[in-house]
Amino acid sequence: MRRRVALIILLSLVASVWPHTADAERRVREPRTPRQGWILGLVVGGASGKFTVQEGERSATSSWVGGGRVLRGRVGWFARSNVLLTAEYGVWRRAVGSADSAGVEEGASSEPGWTEPTDRYLGSAVLAAQLYPLDAGFSLEAGLGYGRVAADVDDDTGTTLTGDEWGVLLLMGAGWEFAIAHDVSIALGADVGRIDAGNGVSGNFVHFTASFHLHLSEGIPRDWF
């Protein structure tokens, strides 16, 4: 008799716990940020680049130079649950002489690369597609854009060549996105790209970024206005 009572109690406990366990497993499998509708994003980070500048018959190519700030705004729309189409505009600026505070004139802004003279500038508008090949937050990106690139490069004689041109930009990247709230996520990633502005300036670059996304799966809430 005691064994039957103990068995009934055990089965009752299992039955009461089982639905909650299944719900918990389902919540873990499902992404907290739904991949549908629109997103608004802010992208911040750092960069490094290698550029070639040509002035007449003279040309010079820099080594890889890093530093400065990357800032981009992004709007996206999920064409499918695993395909995100984005349009974004942003810049990379690097202050003359240093990635940090060296070369900044006294009294200038404490944020080098935004108000001081720059020896690296890359501003572009990009249309891109992001593919999420896994159920997790891993993504691959490819994009095409158009923008302005400016660079100062010293040649073998120590003469500084300056280029400032517009050209076509190609971009590829990868990242990993984490949900930090039901409709907010952060993605850590890296982009590699090339911009070619004809005979004036061309170069390769790498962006290391953190992207903050606001997910609007049902559109922009009306109570915002």
Q: What is the pLDDT of residues 1-29, one digit of tens each?
A: 555 545 555 555 444 444 444 444 444 44
pLDDT, position 219: 63
pLDDT, position 116: 64
pLDDT, position 25: 46
Shared-domain flag, residues 99 and 140: yes
- Secondary structure letter of residue 114 according to DSSP: T
Contact call for residues 33 and 182 (beta carbons, < 8 A): yes
The closest alpha carbon to 194, from 161, 163, 167, belongs to: 167
Shared-domain flag, residues 112 and 201: yes
Give the chain's domain count. 2
Task: Provide the β-strand partners of residue 127.
Answer: 87, 144
Give the phi and the psi of residue 180 in degrees, each rounded to 5: -115, -5
Task: Count Cα neighbours of 80 within 13 Å in the Cβ-side half-sphere.
Answer: 7
Query: Which value, in Å, is the radius of gyration of the alpha carbons in the chain?
Result: 25
Question: Domain with 42 in it: what CATH number?
Answer: 2.40.160.20
Token pair listed for 166: 């517009």
Shared-domain flag, residues 6 and 61: no
User: Tens digit of pLDDT per residue, the chain (225 long)?
Assistant: 555 545 555 555 444 444 444 444 444 444 456 788 999 999 999 999 999 998 878 888 888 988 889 999 999 999 998 999 999 999 999 987 654 433 344 333 444 455 667 788 999 999 999 999 987 789 999 999 999 999 888 887 778 888 899 999 999 999 999 998 888 999 999 999 999 987 789 999 999 999 999 998 776 655 554
Shared-domain flag, residues 88 and 117: yes
Residue-wise pLDDT tens digits, 34-54:
788 999 999 999 999 999 998
Kindly report each contact of residues 4-10 with a partner whose C-beta sits within 8 Å and lies 24 or more positions away, as own/partner: none
Parent domain of 193: 35-224
Shared-domain flag, residues 70 and 141: yes
Shared-domain flag, residues 19 and 47: no
Task: Count Cα neighbours of 143 within 13 Å in the Cβ-side half-sphere.
Answer: 30
Shared-domain flag, residues 21 and 118: no
pLDDT, position 2: 53
Query: How many residues comprise the chain?
Result: 225
Shared-domain flag, residues 140 and 172: yes
Shared-domain flag, residues 43 and 68: yes
Shared-domain flag, residues 10 and 39: no
pLDDT, position 57: 80
Shared-domain flag, residues 52 and 9: no
Shared-domain flag, residues 11 and 101: no
